[in-house]
Amino acid sequence: MKIIYLAGPLYTEGERILLESIDKLCKEKGFSTYLPHKDGGLFTRKEKSSKDFFINDLKKLDEASLIIVVFNGPDVDSGTSWEMGYFFSKGRPIIGYLNDTRIYDQVKQLNPMIINSSDRVVNNLEGLKKILGQMKNGKINNKKT
* Fold (CATH) for 4-136: Rossmann fold (3.40.50)
Domain ranges in the chain? 4-136
User: pLDDT tens digits for 107-126?
Assistant: 678 889 999 999 999 999 99
**Strand 66-70 and strand 33-34: pairing?**
unpaired
Burial of 122 (0-12, 13-18, 19+ CB in 10 A): buried
User: pLDDT tens digits for 56-74?
Assistant: 899 999 999 999 999 998 8
User: pLDDT tens digits for 16-42?
Assistant: 999 999 999 999 999 999 998 887 777
Please give the pLDDT value at position 140.
Answer: 58
Strand order of the β-sheet with 66-70 is 33-34, 4-7, 66-70, 94-97, 120-122
> 91 or 145: which carries more pLDDT confidence?
91
